[in-house]
Amino acid sequence: MALIPLESNPDVMTKFIHQLGVPLKWSIIDVYSLDPEVLAMVPKPVLALILLYPESEKVHEYNAELEAKIKAEGKEPPSNVFHMQQCVSNACGTVALIHAVLNNLDQIELQDGLFKDFLEKAKDLSFTERGMLLVNTASDIMDTHEQLAQEGQTPVPPKNAPVYHHFVAFVEKDGFLYELDGQKSLPINHGPTTKDKLLENAARVCGQYMARDPDEVGFTTVALVPTE
């Protein structure tokens, strides 16, 4: 099974989270640069930073090494972090938005809707079970993805066309910066942070992604922030 990929388009992503129950007071916006001067202009508080990066051979090698290291350490996932597996091709945009929203419920008061219903069913499940729940029972969320994936600015690719980009989300939980990726078996802890420093510290990790692939230009970042 494969979906039409969700575009890194703030208008489309904002419409998506609003349709699923995030109040209008929160929106997705472009972060045009990782330079400190640009980051300083992003509305606060920043609840999450989402990175879209090209899946080059270098990135695949790094991710494989990281996943092997995670499994070798045998650590239990932090119970307070909502993390779910991506079980469908091209669903990484939806998974990243779910990670961004459901790890910020101390600030986002979900309205009745698809996110709230999904959380109620998924909160006590495992990483893999949450991913399968999205595929098998949360058809309304998948249908919303499919609808909005066709509203971007670029031509809609065929469902089974190869996609070379991947979304990950960065959030703060209990004083730590976590990278949440539906293709990695555990949240990646990037060290201490605060809510105020989330954007700055997440931008640093995004910069490391870019540094690993200096010849690639297909990186974009968006943030979940208060609606201006």
Which are the catalytic amino acids? 92, 166
For 39, the token pair is 């980051």
Coil, strand or helix at 181: coil
Dist. CA 76–CA 181, nearest whole Å: 16
Dist. CA 113–CA 228, nearest whole Å: 23
Sheet containing 188-192: order of strands: 26-31, 220-226, 48-54, 165-173, 176-180, 188-192
Dist. CA 8–CA 90, nearest whole Å: 12
Angle between helices 114-122 and 92-102 (to 10 degrees): 80
Dist. CA 183–CA 2, nearest whole Å: 15
205 by Cβ neighbours in 10 Å (0-12 / 13-18 / 19+) ranks as middle
